[in-house]
Homo-oligomer: A and B are copies of this chain.
């Protein structure tokens, strides 16, 4: 097998200027990530210099067979941690041949919101905490759990080490380094409350790049779990009962919130979010009603409440922000399967552009 590894790890820079670009896009379910690779004549660092491409939309539920081409526009470049050298990953979004964004293209609208002058002026920062669960292949039961049974109750697992407490750390650590190599702004990782569940955080990133970076980080994670022979799940409540769900808590601040007097701006922003609770919840991920029960460190899906250091609230403000009178807040409502383009732009839209 190491002969195969020798070939996979060939450093092509020694024999050719050509590079390989992996174009990545979001498929018809809004959560399935697809990709394919092409050879380019030389290194590229600017997305605008990459050619547009196309794929068979009839195979991803995004176009009919008799008019199957969906066009992908390169939007962001990252270094490829698998092929390394000058090879790249390219985050794309999807358009019809006529140049219209297809219905599943959520980035387009988000980019419009983020280029609104009022939003640009506020420099919105995001820190997204992506939780996820690792499952054993074929049985689809969480990694480390006995097949046909359950591990001991939650308590010992959060941030733990040990063969009886932490399952899949090699995936998590490989992912951490691979993302940093790729140029993704990963700020940290931790083992979660439910065994087999982990979290990584991306941020702070500005505007549209928060979404780009989360999607590429998700792609890299799926590639790594593929190598490890483990199945990745972003389901918000993978196991019923007394087991935590998986969320994508979204930390947020604007320039005004980060400056002196920011705490007042934070409170008005939270008030506005409270007035659009139902609209946000509808866009915060499928199946979230199974997770937002009011138990397991969530707020009930029908309730909007906020509090300092309160993990049972919809929105939590950190003690440090309260103390300094400025900072950021955490929207704890989004599910792990949320679309970061939708969530980040919606928070910006409601808090900066929307008037009650």
Contacts and interface: CB of A to CB of B under 8 A. Distances in A.
Q: Is the interface of A mostly helix, strand, loop or mixed?
A: mixed
A106 interface: no
Contact of A10 (B5, B33, B178): B178
Given A39-B187, A164-B137, A12 B58 contact: no
Interface string A1-40: 1111111111010011010100000010000111111110
B222 A65 contact: no
A169 B244 CA distance: 33
Interface in A177-220: 177-178, 180-181, 185-191, 193, 219
A318 B180 contact: no
A226 B166 contact: yes
Contacts of A33: 160-161
A176 B32 contact: no
B311 A39 contact: no
B318 A69 contact: yes
A60 B174 CA distance: 26
Nearest to A10: B177
A89 to B, nearest CB: 12
Contacts of A188: 36-39
A170 interface: yes
A170 B60 contact: no
Contacts of A160: 32-34
Contacts of A242: none
Given A7-B178, A312-B66, A158 B34 contact: yes
Interface of A: 1-10, 12, 15-16, 18, 20, 27, 32-39, 54-56, 58-61, 65-69, 79, 81-83, 97, 137-138, 146, 155-156, 158-166, 169-171, 173-178, 180-181, 185-191, 193, 219, 222-232, 297, 307, 309-312, 318-320, 323
- In order of increasing CB-CB distance, the 8 nearest A-B pairs are A36-B190, A7-B174, A34-B159, A38-B188, A59-B158, A97-B319, A161-B222, A10-B177
